């Protein structure tokens, strides 16, 4: 497994591979890897010849500096996981490689109304930062395909909108959410959960599963209200939102006749903010 610190070194490695017709896949991450990330590597291996994983904790997508400071960075653990998974190359640039201090850079693109819904409402500017760094990674790798996890459902939609904005010929693969045995969605943030928080966090999956199991038994309004009731009285759990939305626009679903509906939830558990979702149809 090759490790690259600069865009030039990465491009030099990839150039002959692309010339020989190899299909290149990019798996962008911020590190603190878990089996959900490895599932992205495995999916990439089924659809490409060369797998490049990036590890970069991107400062422009953190709306809270404390969040950036405490983001886990277990790099030796991450590299061991990637090597065991059969990753071909890892791109680990410094911040100055991706954001040269001698250049003034302005980034703002039209991501559509969905940018300001759900996570966009709670984390102003977050998706501008996400699309900014993903565009930089796409420019560095120029992959044929890129892999993202369904857990960040809104993020995937924003990245697809960014691809359309720049007319980039990259195919996006979305990998299903990988869960722990008790149903908790795997996340790099889970490391911050205390033992009691870990137990309380199971309410996210339970409320989503309730909607999936009872979708035909109640109206959309009733389903959302009953799902929200799961959070009543749980110590140290604060619900930010629970919504059944149109998966293409993230606007609240108004009819069960709408295709591509998804239930999305965000809640603060202890001091850790978690998100989760479940595709309904």
Instruction: Give the burial string for 134-154 (b: 16+ CB within 10 Å, else e).
Output: bbbbbebbbbbbbbbbbbbbb
Say which residues have a Cβ less than 8 Å from residue 279's Cβ, sequence separation at least 6. 150, 247, 260, 261, 262
Question: Three-state SS for 50?
Answer: strand
Which residues on neighbouring strands pair with residue 266, listed in sequence order? 241, 275
- Using CA atoms of 122, 151, 70, 133 in order, give the dihedral in degrees to the nearest 10: -80
Whether 165 is a known active-site residue: answer: no
CA atoms within 13 A on the CB side of 215: 16
User: CA nearest 276: which of 148, 119, 121, 132?
Assistant: 119
Q: What are phi and psi of 171, to 5 degrees?
A: -90, 130
Cβ of 208: how many Cβ atoms within 10 Å?
25
**Residue of 34, 37, 106, 200 marked catalytic:** 37
Active centre residues (catalytic): 37
């Amino acid at each position: 497994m090759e490790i690259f610190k600069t865009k030039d070194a990465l491009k030099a490695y990839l150039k002959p591979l692309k010339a020989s017709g190899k299909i290149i896949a990019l798996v962008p991450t911020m590190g603190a890897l878990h089996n959900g990330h490895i599932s992205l590597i495995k999916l990439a291996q089924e659809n490409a010849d060369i797998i490049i994983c990036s590890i970069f904790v991107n400062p422009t997508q953190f709306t809270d500096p404390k969040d950036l400071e405490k983001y886990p960075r277990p790099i030796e653990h991450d590299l061991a996981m990637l090597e065991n998974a059969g990753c071909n190359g890892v791109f680990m640039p410094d911040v100055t490689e991706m954001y040269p201090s001698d250049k003034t850079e302005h980034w703002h693109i039209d991501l559509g109304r969905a940018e300001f819904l759900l996570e966009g409402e709670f984390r102003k500017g977050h998706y501008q930062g996400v699309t900014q760094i993903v565009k930089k990674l796409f420019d560095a790798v120029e992959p044929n395909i890129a892999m993202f996890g369904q857990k960040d459902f809104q993020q995937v939609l924003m990245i697809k909108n960014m691809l359309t904005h720049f007319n980039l010929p990259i195919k996006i693969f979305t990998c299903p959410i990988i869960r722990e045995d008790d149903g908790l969605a795997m996340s790099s943030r889970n490391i911050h959960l205390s033992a009691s928080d870990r137990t309380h966090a199971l309410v996210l999956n339970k409320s989503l599963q309730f909607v999936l199991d009872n979708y035909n038994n109640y109206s959309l309004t009733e389903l959302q209200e009953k799902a929200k009731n799961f959070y009543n009285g749980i110590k140290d759990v604060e619900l930010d939102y629970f919504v059944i939305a149109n998966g293409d626009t993230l606007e609240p679903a108004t009819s069960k006749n709408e295709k591509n509906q998804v239930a999305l939830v965000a809640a603060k558990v202890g001091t850790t903010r978690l998100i989760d979702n479940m595709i309904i149809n």
